[in-house]
Amino acid sequence: MNDLSDLRKRNLARLIDPKSFAVIGATDDPLRIGGRPIDYSVRHGFSGRIYPVNPKRETIQGLKAYPSISDVPEAVDAAIVALPAPLVAETVEACAAKGVGACIVFSSGFSELGAEGDAMQARLTEISRRTGIRVLGPNCLGAFNAATGWIGTFSSAPSVDPAVPGPIAIASQSGAYGGHIYNLARKRGLKVGRWVTTGNESDIELSECISYLLDDPEVKVVMSYAEGIRDGAGLKAAFEKARDMQKPIVMVKVGRSEVGAAAAASHTAALAGTDAVIDGMMRQYGVYRADDANEMLEVAYGCQHGHFPDGNKLGFITISGGLGVQMADSAAALGLEVPEFSKAGQEKMLELFPFAAARNPVDVTGQAFNDKDAIAKCLKIMMEEGDYDVVISFFTAVASLPEVAKDIVETLKPLKDSRPDKHLFFSILASEENRRFYESNGYPMFDDPVPAITAANGLMYFGRAFAAARGAPPALPAGAETVPAVATAEHEAKRILASAGIPVVREYLAATADEAALRAGELGGRVVLKIASPDIAHKTEIGGVLVGLEGDAAVREGFETLMARAAEKRPDAKLDGVIVCEMVSGGVETVIGVQRDPVLGPAVMFGLGGVLVEVLKDVSFRLAPFSVEEAHRMIREIKGFKILEGVRGAPPADIDALAEALAKLSVFAAANEETLDSIDINPFIVLPEGKGAVAVDALIVPATGESA
């Protein structure tokens, strides 16, 4: 098995970086599917061997053609299969027999068409798994590597803009989307050196491609398009690898909306994985999720130099007060800091431009037009005297004068060399030449300052993610119980969670009125009584919960009331008695829980309690298990986070206790991955700082069981 696994790995490399390739179904017409890869590769100077396969021709595009793959004089690294779907499987089998490394299957007519196609696609999977030959696709647009001139695609993209080597790699499930972002990227001036599309993923999945691309030292950023995740563990591993290598992944993952998810489900044959869980996973591993192609491009563009700041602070310097305000607004909308310029910096700036507004945004006013020598100087002050991670400058046409540009670059060079993590972005509507001059000196260029802020936000996102303390998940307590085979009653769920280290409300099961009164006395103060029955899930609906009871008599009477109600409303239900439980007052009501994602495994959810949060869907997710540090980040992601810090005079909540509970819940969920479907702790009350937190109600649903 290990040999096969090694072979599969080697064959992936042969696919993505072949020294030789065949095109089965090759054509003379360079615009047809079987013609394009040959034409493209020749025109891009592919240095390896190309073997057209076509039984009806002697030559194809000037190259000797072969009647079949078995006639080709070597076991090529990659074979492009441009044949009708029914012929694909036997061809891949023949390629495997020949020792071909991998097949790229352009052909459509597989899983995207439903059951019939499924069977044909399953054959490809089976051949690959059995023989070690790799399969890209079917229904994909192939791959290219501009550095070697291997252009194994029939996408029109490289005909619009020829591929040039560069720091950007694209890995896309959709060929058309991959081609689209390639063309947009080229139009934006980004150099995309590598490109892979995975289509139906009968064998090679997106994450394996990402992981492979990350290993290329030339690749600085991976842009990825995903619509459904098939290999959750693989994706997690690829994300972790990117973070460890400090290489940004910028991903568009579609299917966020209901209509979108429905369209994605009909379009792909993938199991998908829940969008909100994937979203949380991206934050967890420091992958930037872009909403669309343009956002993806701006972020990738700003991150391609490979230097990452570790802060959140933006400085703005502008020749227009209005653009300064615009930049401040746009930064605030992204939650970025725009801190005041240092006193020393303000003084120096005002020396240079007496009428400047020097706080930040620094508005040097139209004066800068009159003193062009001062532009480089004011930028130097801004970069040196401000503790900014990224400075964005708006200087309209004045900064695109060649002498000003030269002055700026020379003046800032020592700083640029010594502190590559301090970034300066320019918003200039510049000429192509001017743009290249700034870019080649390490300064990203934007037409408008708002996309520059988008890019800066991405850059700082990665900086934080790469620098963030990771920590280990807490240990599972020694006596932790496991998820039972059948659904639990509320009090059992809490007992199990308590054994895993989750704080739960103090409570007792009481079988008699006497016992209830005794327990209430032990708890002291006011108590809550609830019917305890594995058969009654929705206790409140039958009046099965009494709150605020105090004193022996009230508790005894409460016990009898609940018994009577249960007997009347649910005569069939098995009754364990009542739960006597302390009344928790104060604190912030939250909801924490676990959902088992079919692809990504158990994910922990966090949100505030209350109906409004439900309407606004203000929750965050993380894959289990995770550390307390990660839990803290997760908690801070929700829009309503301020509530936990204390508003309207309320004390701050015990966020540490909440974070610890989330991390412990994640460890419990991971330990019970196979047997757990979901956990719902609602409410989980976070008490004021120093006072902890408690689960008040809980439900555990086993993987095969049903809710009680």
Order of all β-strands in the sheet with 192-197:
150-152, 143-145, 192-197, 168-172, 221-226, 249-253, 288-290
What whole-number distance in Å separates Cα of residue 514 and Cα of residue 448?
A: 75
Q: Strand, helix or coil at 667?
A: helix
Closer residue to its own copies in complex, CB, 290/700:
290
Smallest gap, in angstroms, from Cβ of residue 341 to its own copies?
12
Residue of 328, 378, 480, 685 interacting with its own copies (CB under 8 A): 328
Amino acid letter, 347:
E
Residue 167 is a binding residue for its own copies (CB under 8 A): no
Whole-angstrom CA distances from 424 to 133, 324, 355, 507 are: 47, 15, 23, 59
Orientation of helix 628-636 relative to helix 275-284, angle to 10°:
120
Q: Calculate ∠ Cα 466-472-477, nearest 5°.
A: 160
Question: Please, which of residues 169-188 interact with its own copies by CB under 8 A?
Answer: 172-177, 179-180, 183-184, 187
Cβ contacts of 663 within 8 Å, gap of 6 or more: 473, 474, 625, 626, 627, 628, 630, 631
Closer residue to its own copies in complex, CB, 99/548:
548
Tell which residue, 663, 665, 654, has the closest CA to residue 698. Answer: 665
Question: Please, which of residues 506-525 interact with its own copies by CB under 8 A?
Answer: none
What whole-number distance in Å separates Cα of residue 561 and Cα of residue 582?
A: 19
Smallest gap, in angstroms, from Cβ of residue 360 to its own copies?
8
Residue of 323, 376, 634, 662 interacting with its own copies (CB under 8 A): 323
Question: Please, which of residues 398-437 interact with its own copies by CB under 8 A?
Answer: 429
Helix (H) or strand (E) holding 453: helix 449-467
Burial annotation 571-610 (CB, 10 A radius, 16+ → b, else e): eebebbbbbbbbebeebbbbbbbbbbbebbbbbbbbbbbb
Closer residue to its own copies in complex, CB, 51/341:
341
Give me the 205-244 binding string for its own copies, x by CB under 8 A, dash otherwise.
Answer: --------------------x-x-----------------
Closer residue to its own copies in complex, CB, 410/447:
447
Q: Among the candidate windows 65-73, 288-296, 466-474, 697-705, which touches its own copies by CB under 8 A?
A: 288-296
Residue of 164, 233, 332, 547 interacting with its own copies (CB under 8 A): 332
Under 8 Å between Cβ of 137 and 104: yes
Residue 612 is a binding residue for its own copies (CB under 8 A): yes
Smallest gap, in angstroms, from Cβ of residue 138 to its own copies?
12
Closer residue to its own copies in complex, CB, 175/544:
175
Smallest gap, in angstroms, from Cβ of residue 541 to its own copies?
10
Smallest gap, in angstroms, from Cβ of residue 233 to its own copies?
24
Closer residue to its own copies in complex, CB, 23/357:
357
Give me the 60-99 binding string for its own copies, x by CB under 8 A, dash otherwise.
Answer: ----------------------------------------
Smallest gap, in angstroms, from Cβ of residue 313 to its own copies?
12
Count of residues interacting with its own copies (CB under 8 A): 80
Q: Would you call the peptide bond into 420 cis, given omega within 30 degrees of 0 as the criterion?
A: no
Smallest gap, in angstroms, from Cβ of residue 279 to its own copies?
12
What whole-number distance in Å separates Cα of residue 425 and Cα of residue 390?
A: 7
Tell which residue, 347, 345, 338, 343, has the closest CA to residue 316. Answer: 338
Closer residue to its own copies in complex, CB, 456/510:
456
Closer residue to its own copies in complex, CB, 365/482:
365
Residue 604 is a binding residue for its own copies (CB under 8 A): no
Under 8 Å between Cβ of 696 and 640: no
Smallest gap, in angstroms, from Cβ of residue 275 to its own copies?
9
What whole-number distance in Å separates Cα of residue 460 and Cα of residue 9?
A: 34
Q: Among the candidate windows 155-163, 280-288, 526-534, 692-700, which touches its own copies by CB under 8 A?
A: 155-163
What whole-number distance in Å separates Cα of residue 394 and Cα of residue 361?
A: 11
**150 phi and psi, to 5 degrees?**
-80, 110
Whole-angstrom CA distances from 530 to 72, 412, 487, 541, 696 are: 78, 70, 18, 12, 12
Give the pair of three-digit tokens for residue 262. 């429905």
Residue of 104, 133, 213, 252 interacting with its own copies (CB under 8 A): 252
Residue of 29, 90, 244, 291 interacting with its own copies (CB under 8 A): 291
Question: Please, which of residues 95-124 interact with its own copies by CB under 8 A?
Answer: 108, 113
Q: Among the candidate windows 153-161, 560-568, 677-685, 691-699, which touches its own copies by CB under 8 A?
A: 153-161
Tell which residue, 504, 566, 560, has the closest CA to residue 533. Answer: 566
Residue 329 is a binding residue for its own copies (CB under 8 A): yes
Q: Among the candidate windows 43-51, 63-71, 394-402, 509-517, which touches its own copies by CB under 8 A?
A: 394-402
Token look-up 């892979």 returns 196
Count of CB atoms situated within 10 Å of the CB of 76: 27
Question: Please, which of residues 480-499 interact with its own copies by CB under 8 A?
Answer: none
Smallest gap, in angstroms, from Cβ of residue 509 to its own copies?
29
Residue of 4, 87, 97, 160 interacting with its own copies (CB under 8 A): 160
Residue of 170, 278, 338, 700 interacting with its own copies (CB under 8 A): 338
End-to-end CA distance of the chain: 43
What are the percentages of helix, strand and coil residues in the chain, rounded to 5? 45, 20, 35
What whole-number distance in Å separates Cα of residue 292 and Cα of residue 278?
A: 16
Amino acid letter, 259:
V
Residue of 45, 322, 525, 690 interacting with its own copies (CB under 8 A): 322
Residue 293 is a binding residue for its own copies (CB under 8 A): yes
Q: Among the candidate windows 359-367, 470-478, 521-529, 626-634, which touches its own copies by CB under 8 A?
A: 359-367
Residue 476 is a binding residue for its own copies (CB under 8 A): no
Residue 372 is a binding residue for its own copies (CB under 8 A): no
Question: Please, which of residues 8-47 interact with its own copies by CB under 8 A?
Answer: none
Closer residue to its own copies in complex, CB, 288/559:
288
Q: Calculate ∠ Cα 151-154-158, nearest 5°.
A: 55
Give the pair of three-digit tokens for residue 638. 């929700």
Question: Please, which of residues 439-458 interact with its own copies by CB under 8 A?
Answer: 447-448, 450-451
Closer residue to its own copies in complex, CB, 147/325:
325
Question: Please, which of residues 650-689 interact with its own copies by CB under 8 A?
Answer: 650
Residue of 10, 267, 416, 556 interacting with its own copies (CB under 8 A): 267
